[in-house]
Each structure stands twice: as structure tokens, then as C-alpha cells.
């Protein structure tokens, strides 16, 4: 059976002989790596600008672009153990105040060009007053002394099980990673990883 190539969103789709004999039966197999430009970002040990963290990371859409946030992974440590709520907010208004710092964004493929999504953190200066929005997802992240070996990870992954990614359409939509204003101990360092596509 012939291979089907050049599919939108599919690099290759081909018939696979599951008997291993070349005589069949045949099933369709797929490599579902998207054609969309894909980008990533990573920060290690970010110290928040305030002990009461609200929006720590902020992703802003771009004019004329559809941005699909595929994964956000958080981990971190603190001088003493604490668990903090983490809430993802889809915002329809930007924050006010605060001192955003741009995060380096890297294409997964060098031919994809530069990223359009604006990604910022609030690890320096003043914290923002969050804009209007609604909760999309959330969980709890355990922060513990790095020496005890109990580093936790909080993972948000989308479009893995026929669900839709968090989509930012245009420059007037944001996705915020918010820590709910909970007071944290000293020595907090947050690790942040994010993957998204643009089209």
C-alpha cells in the first residue's frame, strides 16, 4: 500500500504491515508532527519579584496569528517546604503596572523564523495587577528545599488526547500563570518550560 505524504499537519502517513511478513493485514500509521512553526522557552530558578506571587508568567498573542499553547511545566524549590496553587487564566485584558521582563523564545526548527508570541515574567521590579479573565486550568505545586531531592513538577499538556490546546487569537488575548497571591517562604526559585505553535 502506498505512503501518503504531504498531509496538512501530518509529516507522513503510511500503511504498516502488522504481521511483519509483507502480506498484511495492513493498518494506517501516522507521524503526527505538525507543520506549524513550534517554539519553546525555559527559565531556571526564577526568583519572583514578590513573596505573594500573582501573575508570574504572561503569554500574549500576536496580531494575525493563531497561537496554540501545547504545554507548560513548572517545578521549583524554596528554603522550606510549601505547596502553592497555580492557576492558568485566559485573560481578555492586559495587566496594569508591574515590570515585565522578556523571556527568550527559541524555534524548535531553525527554518521556523522568530516567534510572535510575547512571553514575559515578573521576577524583577514590581508585580502587576492582573487583568480580567477566567480560569482555564490549575493545580498545586510543591516547593521544597532543593537538597532533599523531593522536587515536584506540575504539568499542563494539551492536544494530546484529541483535546484542543489553549488558543490565543490576536494581540488582545493573554494566558497567565498565576500563583493566587499565596505567601511563600524565602529562597523560592521557579523553573518554567513552555511549548507552543504559531500559524
Sketch the domain layout of the chain as residue ranges: 1-35, 37-198
What is the b/e burial string over 5-28, where b = at least 16 CB atoms within 10 angstroms of the residue's CB? eeeeeeeeeeeeeeeeeeeeeeee
Beta strand segments in the chain, E: 4-5, 12-17, 26-31, 37-46, 55-60, 66-77, 82-91, 101-102, 106-107, 118-121, 133-143, 153-157, 166-169, 174-178, 189-198
What's the pTM value of the predicted model, to 2 decimals?
A: 0.81
The pLDDT profile of the chain, 199 residues, written as one tens digit per residue, is: 444 444 444 444 456 666 767 777 766 655 566 679 999 999 999 999 888 889 999 999 999 999 999 999 999 999 888 889 999 999 999 888 888 999 999 999 999 999 999 999 998 888 888 989 999 999 999 998 877 767 789 999 998 888 899 999 999 999 999 999 888 778 899 999 999 999 9
pLDDT of residue 41: 98
- Choose among 5, 71, 65, 57: nearest CA to 36: 65
Amino acid at each position: 500500500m502506498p505512503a501518503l505524504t504531504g498531509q496538512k499537519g501530518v509529516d507522513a502517513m503510511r500503511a504498516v504491515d502488522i504481521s511483519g511478513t509483507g502480506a498484511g493485514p495492513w493498518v494506517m500509521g501516522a507521524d503526527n508532527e505538525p507543520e506549524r512553526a513550534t517554539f519553546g522557552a525555559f527559565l531556571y530558578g526564577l526568583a519572583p519579584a514578590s513573596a505573594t506571587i500573582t501573575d508570574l508568567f504572561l503569554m500574549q498573542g500576536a496580531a494575525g496569528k493563531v497561537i496554540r499553547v501545547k504545554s507548560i511545566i513548572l517545578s521549583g524549590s524554596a528554603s522550606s517546604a510549601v505547596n502553592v496553587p497555580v492557576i492558568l487564566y485566559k485573560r481578555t485584558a492586559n495587566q496594569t503596572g508591574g515590570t515585565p521582563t522578556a523571556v527568550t523564545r527559541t524555534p524548535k526548527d531553525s527554518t521556523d523564523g522568530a516567534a510572535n508570541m510575547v512571553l514575559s515574567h515578573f521576577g524583577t521590579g514590581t508585580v502587576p495587577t492582573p487583568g480580567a479573565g477566567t480560569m482555564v486550568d490549575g493545580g498545586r505545586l510543591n516547593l521544597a528545599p532543593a537538597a532533599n531531592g523531593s522536587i515536584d513538577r506540575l504539568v499542563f499538556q494539551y492536544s494530546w488526547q484529541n483535546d484542543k490546546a489553549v488558543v490565543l487569537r490576536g494581540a488582545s488575548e493573554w494566558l497567565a500563570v498565576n500563583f493566587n497571591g499565596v505567601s511563600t517562604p524565602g529562597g523560592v526559585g521557579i523553573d518554567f518550560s513552555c511549548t507552543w505553535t504559531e500559524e
